[in-house]
Chain A
Amino acid sequence: MTDSSENRGKCEISLTVNGKAKTVRVYPMERLLDVLRQELGLTGTKEGCGEGECGSCSVLMNGELVNSCLVPALQAADANLTTIEGLAEGPQLSALQAAFLECGGAQCGICTPGMILASCHLLNKKPEPTLHDICEALSGNLCRCTGYMQIFDAVAQAARRRNPA
Chain B
Amino acid sequence: MTGERIVGQSVPRKEGRDKVTGAARYIDDMTLPGMLYGATVRSQIPRGVIKKISFDPQFEWSEFVTVTAKDIPGKNCIALIGDDQPCLADGSVNHPEEPILLMAHADSHLLRQAADAVSIEYEPLPAIFTIEDSEQRSQFIWGTDNTFKTFLIAKGDVDGIWTKADYIVEGEYTTGAQEQLYIENNGVIAAFDREQGITVWGSLQCPFYVHKALMALCNLAADKVRVVQMETGGAFGGKEDYPSMIAGHAALLAMKSGRPVKIIYDRIEDMTATTKRHPSRTRHRTAVSKDGKILGGEIDFTIDGGAYATLSSVVLSRGTIHAGGPYYWPHVRIRGKAVATNTPPHGAFRGFGAPQSLFAMERHMDRIAQVVGVSPVEIRRRNFLKPGQTTTTEQTIREEIDLGKLLDRALELSGYTAKKDRFAQENKAGPIKKGMGIATFLHGAGFTGSGERYLASAVGVEGCADGSVRVLVSSTEFGQGTNTVLCQIAAEALGLPYEDVQIAQPDTNQVPNSGPTVASRTVMVVGSLVRSAAVGIRQTLIAAGTLSSSYSPEEFRAACRRHIAEHGQLRSIARYDAPEGVYWDDHKYRGEAYAAFAWAVYVAEVAVDFTTYSVKVEDFVALQEVGRVLHPALAKGQIVGGVAQGIGFALYEKVVWQNGRMQNGQMTNYIMPTSADLPQIRVFFEEMGNVHGAYGAKGIGELPMDGPAPAIVNAIEDAMGTRFDSVPLLPEDIFEAVSEAVAADGNR
A6 → B minimal CB distance (Å): 10
Binary contact readout B473-499 vs A (1 if CB under 8 angstroms, 0 otherwise)? 000001111000000000000000000
CB nearest to A132 among chain B residues: B676
**Which residues in window 5-52 of A have CB below 8 A to B?**
37, 42-51
**Interface of A: prevailing SS:** loop
Q: Are A146 and B641 in contact (CB under 8 A)?
A: yes
Chain A interface residue count, CB cutoff 8 Å, equals 55
Q: B637 is contacted by which of A87, A104, A142 (Cβ under 8 Å)?
A: A104
Whether a CB of chain A sits under 8 angstroms from the CB of B686 is no
Q: B233 is contacted by which of A1, A103, A110, A138 (Cβ under 8 Å)?
A: A110
CB nearest to A106 among chain B residues: B19
Q: Give A50 to B666 CA distance when docked, in angstroms.
A: 10
The stretch that binds A, out of B8-16, B524-532, B720-728, is: B8-16
Q: Give A49 to B182 CA distance when docked, in angstroms.
A: 11
Binary contact readout A125-165 vs B (1 if CB under 8 angstroms, 0 otherwise)? 00000000011101111111111111110000000000000
Q: Are A109 and B666 in contact (CB under 8 A)?
A: no
Residues of B within 8 A of A107 (CB): 234, 479-481, 637, 641
Q: Give A83 to B23 CA distance when docked, in angstroms.
A: 12
Q: Are A101 and B13 in contact (CB under 8 A)?
A: yes
Question: A138-B675, A144-B236 are contacts. A48–B184 as well, Cβ < 8 Å?
Answer: yes
Q: Are A106 and B13 in contact (CB under 8 A)?
A: yes
Whether a CB of chain A sits under 8 angstroms from the CB of B21 is yes
Binary contact readout B631-671 vs A (1 if CB under 8 angstroms, 0 otherwise)? 00110110011111100000000000000000000111000
Whether a CB of chain B sits under 8 angstroms from the CB of A78 is no
CB nearest to A151 among chain B residues: B675
Residues of B within 8 A of A47 (CB): 28
Whether a CB of chain B sits under 8 angstroms from the CB of A54 is yes
Q: Give A106 to B19 CA distance when docked, in angstroms.
A: 7
Q: Are B675 and A116 in contact (CB under 8 A)?
A: no
Whether a CB of chain A sits under 8 angstroms from the CB of B266 is yes
Question: A43-B29, A97-B21, A144-B645 are contacts. A108–B234 as well, Cβ < 8 Å?
Answer: yes
Whether a CB of chain A sits under 8 angstroms from the CB of B440 is no
B276 → A minimal CB distance (Å): 14
Q: Are B12 and A150 in contact (CB under 8 A)?
A: no
Pick from A88, A98, A108 the residue with the most CB of B within 10 Å.
A108
Q: Are B640 and A139 in contact (CB under 8 A)?
A: no
Residues of A within 8 A of B644 (CB): 146-148
Whether a CB of chain A sits under 8 angstroms from the CB of B183 is yes
Q: Give A111 to B17 CA distance when docked, in angstroms.
A: 14
Question: A48-B667, A51-B668, A142-B667 are contacts. A109–B24 as well, Cβ < 8 Å?
Answer: yes
CB nearest to A103 among chain B residues: B633
Q: Are B21 and A44 in contact (CB under 8 A)?
A: yes
Residues of A within 8 A of B235 (CB): 108
Residues of A within 8 A of B185 (CB): 48
B204 → A minimal CB distance (Å): 13
CB nearest to A30 among chain B residues: B109
Whether a CB of chain B sits under 8 angstroms from the CB of A112 is yes
Binary contact readout B88-103 vs A (1 if CB under 8 angstroms, 0 otherwise)? 0000000000000000
**Which residues in window 87-123 of A have CB below 8 A to B?**
87-88, 93, 97-98, 100-104, 106-113, 116
Q: Give A47 to B306 CA distance when docked, in angstroms.
A: 29
Binary contact readout B1-45 vs A (1 if CB under 8 angstroms, 0 otherwise)? 000000000101101111111111110110000000000000000
Q: A109 is contacted by which of B15, B267, B636, B674 (Cβ under 8 Å)?
A: B15
Residues of B within 8 A of A141 (CB): 675
B236 → A minimal CB distance (Å): 7
Whether a CB of chain A sits under 8 angstroms from the CB of B738 is no
Question: A43-B22, A48-B184, A51-B666 are contacts. A104–B675 as well, Cβ < 8 Å?
Answer: no
Residues of A within 8 A of B681 (CB): 147, 149
A33 → B minimal CB distance (Å): 11
**Which residues in window 144-193 of B have CB below 8 A to A?**
180-185
Q: Give A1 to B109 CA distance when docked, in angstroms.
A: 14
CB nearest to B10 among chain A residues: A104
Q: Give A47 to B24 CA distance when docked, in angstroms.
A: 14
**Interface of B: prevailing SS:** loop
Residues of B within 8 A of A113 (CB): 22
Whether a CB of chain A sits under 8 angstroms from the CB of B231 is yes
Residues of B within 8 A of A83 (CB): 22
Q: Give A12 to B367 CA distance when docked, in angstroms.
A: 68
Q: Are B676 and A50 in contact (CB under 8 A)?
A: no
Q: B17 is contacted by which of A37, A101, A110, A139 (Cβ under 8 Å)?
A: A101
Q: Give A150 to B636 CA distance when docked, in angstroms.
A: 9
Q: Are A109 and B676 in contact (CB under 8 A)?
A: no
Q: Give A97 to B540 CA distance when docked, in angstroms.
A: 41
Whether a CB of chain B sits under 8 angstroms from the CB of A65 is no
CB nearest to A43 among chain B residues: B29
Whether a CB of chain B sits under 8 angstroms from the CB of A56 is yes
CB nearest to A83 among chain B residues: B22
Q: Are A97 and B641 in contact (CB under 8 A)?
A: no
Pick from A100, A135, A139, A144 the residue with the most CB of B within 10 Å.
A144
Question: A46-B233, A88-B21, A97-B20 are contacts. A51–B672 as well, Cβ < 8 Å?
Answer: no
Q: Are A139 and B672 in contact (CB under 8 A)?
A: no
Whether a CB of chain B sits under 8 angstroms from the CB of A84 is yes
Residues of B within 8 A of A51 (CB): 267, 666-668
Whether a CB of chain A sits under 8 angstroms from the CB of B680 is yes
Residues of A within 8 A of B645 (CB): 144, 147
Question: A93-B21, A108-B184, A151-B675 are contacts. A101–B16 as well, Cβ < 8 Å?
Answer: yes
Q: Are B234 and A144 in contact (CB under 8 A)?
A: yes
Q: Are A109 and B231 in contact (CB under 8 A)?
A: yes
**Which residues in window 327-372 of B have CB below 8 A to A?**
none
Q: Give A146 to B425 CA distance when docked, in angstroms.
A: 36
Residues of B within 8 A of A43 (CB): 22, 25-26, 28-29
Whether a CB of chain A sits under 8 angstroms from the CB of B232 is yes
A47 → B minimal CB distance (Å): 7
Residues of B within 8 A of A136 (CB): 676
Whether a CB of chain A sits under 8 angstroms from the CB of B50 is no
Q: Give A104 to B480 CA distance when docked, in angstroms.
A: 10
A157 → B minimal CB distance (Å): 12
Q: Give A110 to B266 CA distance when docked, in angstroms.
A: 15
CB nearest to A110 among chain B residues: B233
Residues of A within 8 A of B267 (CB): 48-51
Q: Are B12 and A102 in contact (CB under 8 A)?
A: yes
Q: Are A139 and B22 in contact (CB under 8 A)?
A: no
Whether a CB of chain A sits under 8 angstroms from the CB of B573 is no
Question: A88-B21, A142-B674, A147-B640 are contacts. A108–B16 as well, Cβ < 8 Å?
Answer: no
Q: B675 is contacted by which of A49, A98, A102, A135 (Cβ under 8 Å)?
A: A135
A143 → B minimal CB distance (Å): 7
Question: A46-B26, A85-B22 are contacts. A110–B183 as well, Cβ < 8 Å?
Answer: yes
Whether a CB of chain A sits under 8 angstroms from the CB of B678 is yes
Q: Are A46 and B184 in contact (CB under 8 A)?
A: yes
Residues of A within 8 A of B232 (CB): 108
- 9 interchain residue pairs of minimum CB distance: A44-B22, A110-B233, A108-B479, A109-B19, A147-B644, A107-B479, A84-B22, A147-B640, A53-B667
Q: Would you mind naming 23 contact pairs between A and B with Cβ atoms under 8 Å apart?
A: A43-B22, A48-B183, A49-B666, A49-B668, A51-B668, A84-B20, A84-B21, A101-B13, A107-B641, A109-B20, A110-B182, A112-B20, A135-B676, A138-B675, A144-B180, A145-B637, A146-B640, A147-B643, A147-B645, A147-B673, A148-B678, A149-B678, A149-B680
Extra inter-chain contacts (17) besides given A107-B234, A142-B667, A144-B182, CB under 8 Å:
A49-B267, A51-B667, A51-B668, A54-B667, A101-B17, A107-B480, A108-B232, A109-B18, A110-B26, A134-B675, A135-B675, A146-B640, A148-B640, A148-B675, A149-B681, A150-B633, A151-B675
B positions within 8 Å CB-CB of A? 10, 12-13, 15-26, 28-29, 107, 180-185, 231-236, 266-267, 478-481, 633-634, 636-637, 640-645, 666-668, 672-676, 678, 680-681
